[in-house]
């Protein structure tokens, strides 16, 4: 049962990821990306990371994906329906990605991990303690990065003023 659940989620995630990178309609690719993100959240739950599964759904599926769909709709191109979305270098790209996959799988096959089987426990409280004690410095650094991202997004997405003072010149 456990193995069946894993293989089902893994197969669906892989198929959806392949569709994300090959689908001609960018909007449909965004919907397949939603499937990938939700399935990864399910795999987090499978691994006992309950808080992370919830954060994945809230942040990725509820946040980043909505942003991507917004960007797709705001920059919709008329001829996207007929033209291929894959450029001419797909064969070398396929070789590179296959080489990476084969190298990592071979490295995993050759290495042995001393598995410590621990019972899964609720992680939210312990994760909060970790974030605000040992990980306090990276936590603050990430807050600064988020502030910079916020300011940067506002800067890049503001409208040009008519007197041309807003920076992004035509």
Partner 1 sequence: MIGLAHFLVLGAVLFSIGIFGVLTRRNIIGILMSIEIMFNAVNLNLVAFNRYLYGGDLWGQGDAIFVITLAAGEAVVGLALVLAIYRNLKTVYVEKMDLLKG
Residue list 50-89, contact with partner 1 (CB under 8 A): 51-52, 55-56, 59-60, 63-64, 67-68, 70-72, 74-75, 77, 80, 84-87, 89
Distance from C-alpha of 149 to C-alpha of 163, rounded to nearest angstrom: 26
Q: Rule CB under 8 A: which of 34-53 touch partner 1?
A: 36-37, 40, 43-44, 46-49, 51-52
- Which of 8, 28, 104, 140: binder of partner 1 (CB under 8 A)? 104
Task: Tell me the two tokens of residue 34.
Answer: 């939603």
What does the per-residue mask of binding to partner 1 show for 7-26, with x meaning CB under 8 A?
---x--xx--xx-xx----x
Q: Is 105 in the site for partner 1 (CB under 8 A)?
A: yes
Cα distance between residue 40 and residue 61, in whole Å: 11
Scan for tokens 């312990």, then name that residue.
126
**Count of residues of this chain found to bind partner 1 when the rule CB under 8 A is applied:** 85
Whether residue 92 contacts residue 81, with contact meaning beta carbons closer than 8 Å, is answered with: no
Q: What is the Rg, in whole angstroms, of the alpha carbon atoms belonging to the chain?
A: 21
Q: 8, 28, 122, 130: which one contacts partner 1 (CB under 8 A)? A: 130
CB 61, min distance to partner 1, A: 11
Other CB atoms within 10 Å distance of the CB of residue 37: 20
């Amino acid at each position: 049962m456990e193995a069946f659940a894993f293989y089902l989620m893994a197969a669906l995630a892989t198929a959806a990821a392949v569709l994300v990178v090959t689908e001609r309609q960018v909007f449909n690719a965004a919907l397949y990306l939603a499937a990938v993100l939700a399935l990864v959240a399910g795999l987090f739950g499978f691994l006992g990371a309950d808080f992370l599964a919830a954060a994945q759904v809230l942040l990725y599926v509820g946040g980043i994906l909505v942003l991507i769909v917004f960007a797709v709709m705001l920059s919709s191109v008329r001829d996207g329906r007929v033209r291929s979305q894959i450029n001419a270098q797909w064969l070398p790209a396929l070789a590179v990605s296959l080489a990476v996959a084969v190298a990592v799988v071979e490295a995993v096959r050759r290495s042995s991990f001393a598995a410590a089987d621990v019972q899964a426990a609720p992680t939210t409280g312990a994760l909060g303690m970790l974030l605000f004690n040992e990980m306090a410095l990276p936590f603050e650094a990430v807050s600064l990065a988020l502030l910079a991202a916020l300011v940067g997004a506002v800067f890049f997405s503001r409208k040009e003023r008519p007197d041309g003072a807003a920076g992004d010149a035509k």
